[in-house]
Amino acid sequence: MTDVPTGARHVLILGGTTEARRLAARLADEPRLRVTSSLAGRVAEPRLPVGEVRVGGFGGTEGLARWLCEHQVDAVIDATHPFAGTISFHAARAAASVHVPLLALRRPGWVAGPGDRWHHTDSLAGAAALLPGLGERVFLTTGRMGLAAFAHLTGPWFLVRSVDAPEPPHPPRMEVLLDRGPFTVAGEAGLLRRHRIDVLVTKDSGGAATAAKLTAAREAGVPVVVVRRPPVPEGVPVAEDPAGAARWLRTVLG
């Protein structure tokens, strides 16, 4: 633990997203704050934020509530991935149980524009159900954790992009591309051409780092299956960017 001034307010940032790292950097120069960033540990070599970092789970709602009390946390900012639903609900219950203010930091979702051929669904299983009618060569960009939803599809060929190598179960006809954003429109367009992709599957993660694939798909006339993000837990306020999160902190911490 780094040295912090006596009486500094302790802020816990959940998540290894771009927004979480930017928020940690923004708060690093605040002398009255002690900031701890917590990463889930699912990526082998994560991009680390500045300041204190802990890696690993808390042990559910009760474990997180206990950690908040033991480490005298004054505020929690849930800056996890928009699809990391479990930890968000654990955070909401834990923070409420020990009366610690909680904010969700969520980048805005993507919005379809002219020329986009988007098909929305609420789950990966729903995305899998849509594929047979849309294409046979699939660019799957939903991450390595949900491939089981597509494992029963023996007809389509999948190009799966993820940061770390996926584990079974996964589609039988599959090529893995290990890569990490940000990506460019030219690079994504070339990928679609080389692999003769005729349908793209993505989660509505939002943000600019991986949005280039949507532009490339639009320009190529490739349909896109978009999995809607789960809702933020009821009653939890939301900020769309680190600046908004910093303003909320000033309000709740005084």
Q: What is the pLDDT of residues 169-197, one digit of tens each?
A: 999 999 999 998 899 999 999 999 999 99
Residue 1: band (very low, low, confident or very high) from pLDDT cuts 50, 70, 90:
very low
This prediction's pTM: 0.87
Backbone angles phi, psi at 138, to 5 degrees: -105, 130
Query: Distance between CA atoms of 238 and 179, rounded to whole angstroms?
Result: 30
In this predicted structure, what is the pLDDT of residue 41? 76
Check if the beta carbon of residue 233 is closer than 8 Å to that of residue 88.
Answer: yes
Query: Distance between CA atoms of 152 and 102, rounded to whole angstroms?
Result: 40
Query: Distance between CA atoms of 36 and 87, rounded to whole angstroms?
Result: 16
pLDDT, tens digit (0-9, with 9 covering 90-100), for 60-111: 999 999 999 999 999 999 999 999 879 999 999 999 999 999 999 999 999 9
Q: At 136, which amino acid appears?
A: E
pLDDT, tens digit (0-9, with 9 covering 90-100), for 26-56: 999 899 999 999 998 777 678 899 999 999 9
Query: Distance between CA atoms of 111 and 108, rounded to whole angstroms?
Result: 9
Residue 254: band (very low, low, confident or very high) from pLDDT cuts 50, 70, 90:
confident
In this predicted structure, what is the pLDDT of residue 80? 95
